[in-house]
Amino acid sequence: MTTKPNSRGELVGYFNHYNNKKPTYNPPKICLLCCEPIKFSFENECKTISLMAEKGNRSYFYRVHKDCYEKATPDEIQLYESSIIDNQQTK
């Protein structure tokens, strides 16, 4: 049984420095868009998106179902990605 995240912020992983090989925080394998588990038994089910703010060394990533990502509008994707960068820069 998979529990739902308390917030979507829990679904965003990051590397403290872009040169790191392993993430500082590796989030659970849950889709950021629909909050349902991602099953890695299907190679084409998952898409990992990487982000980095213009200034700073920390890089972020999140996972989504390919179907969820393809159904999302560019404005929805931009809203999610902007909130990731904006929320993390205030910490």
Any domain includes 51:
yes
- For 31-73, write each residue's pLDDT tens digit: 999 999 988 765 668 899 999 888 777 899 999 999 999 999 9
Any domain includes 2:
no
6 versus 67: the higher-pLDDT residue is 67
Do 85 and 51 meet the contact criterion of CB atoms below 8 Å apart? Answer: yes
Any domain includes 17:
yes
List the domain range (segments joined by +) for residue 53. Answer: 8-89
Any domain includes 3:
no
Pairing of strands 46-52, 59-65: antiparallel
Q: In degrees, to the nearest 5, what angle opens at C-alpha 7 toward C-alphas 52 and 56?
A: 20
Any domain includes 23:
yes
- For 16-28, write each residue's pLDDT tens digit: 987 889 999 999 9
pLDDT of residue 7: 66
* Single pTM value for the model: 0.81
Amino acid found at 3: T
Q: Percentage of the chain with pLDDT > 90? A: 51
Q: How many domains does the chain have?
A: 1
Annotate 66-83 with b (16+ C-beta within 10 A) or e (fewer). eebbeebeeeeeeebbee
Any domain includes 84:
yes
Amino acid found at 45: E
